[in-house]
């Protein structure tokens, strides 16, 4: 070897090679299916998952039967309206029950998908194969989502009972099932991201539960806490009883200018729009608002109309004519601008962010690991 050849020989690199982007984000159906099947087989072999499905069916069925019995007793003893039906009320109760239990169960299905395999020493086996990080993460996400949807499918008979009572369109069931399934997929994505970020399975599960609680509970708390700050005292028109009425005889409401504390909820409505229960209620598409009978038996429709009104802000003149029929004079106009696309988009983005984090943390070679992390 000549001196020139030695001088031209490149120096060895001290930095580890990085996987190309195509290797990280490459996706094939075969790879995704392989990981998903492996995950689902482990769940099916576990008796805890079967027991959980049985317990879910018994709990949802028992609460549904108790609720339907209570509604039947109320409607038989005191019927407020000849057109009143118990179907929408039971449908709303079953919807919130299934969504609430789903938000409790789903975090445990995906929040241990990566750190659980790493602690068991099986994750490295997948990483050294031809499977890409995107395929591993997608397979685990699909498996967790399929397990979560199994609980949703088990609940379909109880939705059918509510539909059989009448008063709820059949399309509402399809809308509810699709939106709930999308929300559960987003929760699985968040859980997968926390599973990739933390070493302990307990930590990732707690973080996922806190994220779900933030969407379902903290949004309501923040809206209530910020309510005084968005209220301003000002001169506004009020549709009300004349001030000189002595309470005798008939009275006709009129518009007067008075000083009122007006809450400008158009500034903070988006806090409620992030709530999964509000998203499902707004997307359900149940009965439209009726000024003479404002959704007294339809909780989903009542929530939908209430949040849409908050988004539109205060309606001027303010409606304070309590002695007249709500359909006469100055009836309340309900905003038809949907809220659910905003809330669902944010929830899906959170789930997509967790999925991206999981893919990036699955890349090999891994440049930095937490202390005490098991590799193989």
150 and 191 belong to one structural domain: yes
Distance CA 203, CA 197 (A): 10
The number of domains in the chain is 2
Q: What is the per-residue pLDDT for 24? A: 81
4 domain-assigned:
no
Whole domain around residue 26: which residue ranges?
18-221+341-361
Over its length of 376 residues, how does the chain's per-residue pLDDT go in tens digits? 454 444 444 555 455 444 444 578 888 899 999 999 999 888 777 777 888 889 999 999 999 888 888 877 766 655 555 555 778 888 999 999 999 999 999 998 889 889 988 888 888 888 888 899 999 999 999 999 999 999 999 999 999 998 888 888 889 999 999 999 999 999 999 999 999 999 888 999 999 999 999 999 999 999 999 999 998 888 887 888 776 676 676 777 878 888 888 888 999 999 999 999 999 999 998 766 555 555 567 889 889 988 998 998 888 777 777 765 555 555 556 677 899 999 999 999 999 999 999 999 998 766 666 665 655 5
65 and 150 belong to one structural domain: yes
Q: What is the per-residue pLDDT for 8? A: 47
144 and 270 belong to one structural domain: no
237 and 207 belong to one structural domain: no
240 domain-assigned:
yes
Residue 155's SS3 state is coil
Q: What is the per-residue pLDDT for 78? A: 56
Q: What is the pTM of this model?
A: 0.85
- Residues in CB range of 15: below 8 A, 6 or more apart: none
89 and 231 belong to one structural domain: no
Q: What is the per-residue pLDDT for 176? A: 96
9 domain-assigned:
no
286 and 347 belong to one structural domain: no
177 and 84 belong to one structural domain: yes
Structure tokens at 131: 């499977």
- Residues in CB range of 81: below 8 A, 6 or more apart: 293, 296
Where would I find the H helices in the chain?
Answer: 3-8, 21-25, 29-45, 47-77, 87-110, 115-120, 123-127, 133-154, 156-164, 170-197, 201-213, 219-226, 269-273, 276-283, 299-312, 340-361
């Amino acid at each position: 070897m000549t001196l020139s050849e030695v001088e031209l020989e490149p120096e060895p690199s001290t930095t580890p090679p990085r996987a190309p982007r195509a290797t990280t984000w490459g996706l094939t159906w075969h790879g995704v299916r392989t990981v998903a099947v492996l995950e689902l087989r482990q769940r099916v072999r576990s008796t805890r998952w079967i027991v959980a499905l049985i317990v879910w069916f018994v709990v949802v069925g028992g609460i549904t039967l108790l609720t339907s019995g209570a509604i039947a007793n109320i409607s038989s003893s005191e019927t407020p309206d000849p057109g009143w039906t118990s179907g929408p009320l039971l449908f709303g109760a079953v919807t919130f029950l299934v969504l609430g239990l789903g938000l409790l169960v789903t975090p445990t299905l995906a929040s241990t998908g990566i750190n659980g395999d790493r602690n068991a020493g099986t994750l490295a086996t997948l990483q050294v194969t031809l499977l890409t990080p995107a395929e591993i993460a997608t397979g685990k996400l699909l498996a967790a989502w399929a397990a979560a949807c199994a609980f949703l499918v088990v609940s379909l008979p109880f939705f059918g009972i509510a539909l059989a009572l009448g008063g709820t369109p059949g399309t509402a069931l399809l809308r509810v099932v699709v939106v709930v399934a999308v929300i559960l997929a987003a929760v699985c994505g968040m859980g997968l991201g926390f599973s990739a970020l933390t070493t302990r399975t307990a930590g990732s599960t707690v973080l996922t539960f806190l994220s779900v609680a933030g969407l379902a509970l903290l949004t309501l708390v923040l809206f209530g806490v910020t309510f005084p700050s968005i209220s301003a005292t000002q001169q506004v028109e009020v549709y009300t009883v004349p001030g000189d009425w002595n309470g005798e005889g008939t009275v006709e409401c009129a518009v007067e200018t008075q000083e009122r504390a007006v809450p400008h909820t158009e500034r903070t409505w988006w806090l409620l729009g992030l709530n999964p229960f509000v998203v499902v209620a707004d997307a359900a598409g149940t009965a439209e608002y009726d000024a003479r009978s404002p959704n007294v038996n339809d909780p989903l429709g009542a929530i939908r109309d209430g949040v849409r009104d908050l988004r539109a802000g205060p309606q001027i003149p303010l409606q304070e004519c309590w002695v007249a029929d709500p359909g006469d004079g100055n009836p309340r106009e309900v905003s038809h601008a949907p809220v659910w696309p905003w809330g669902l988009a944010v929830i899906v983005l959170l789930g997509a962010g967790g999925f991206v984090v999981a893919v990036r943390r699955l890349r090999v070679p891994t440049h930095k690991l937490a202390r005490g992390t098991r590799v193989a």
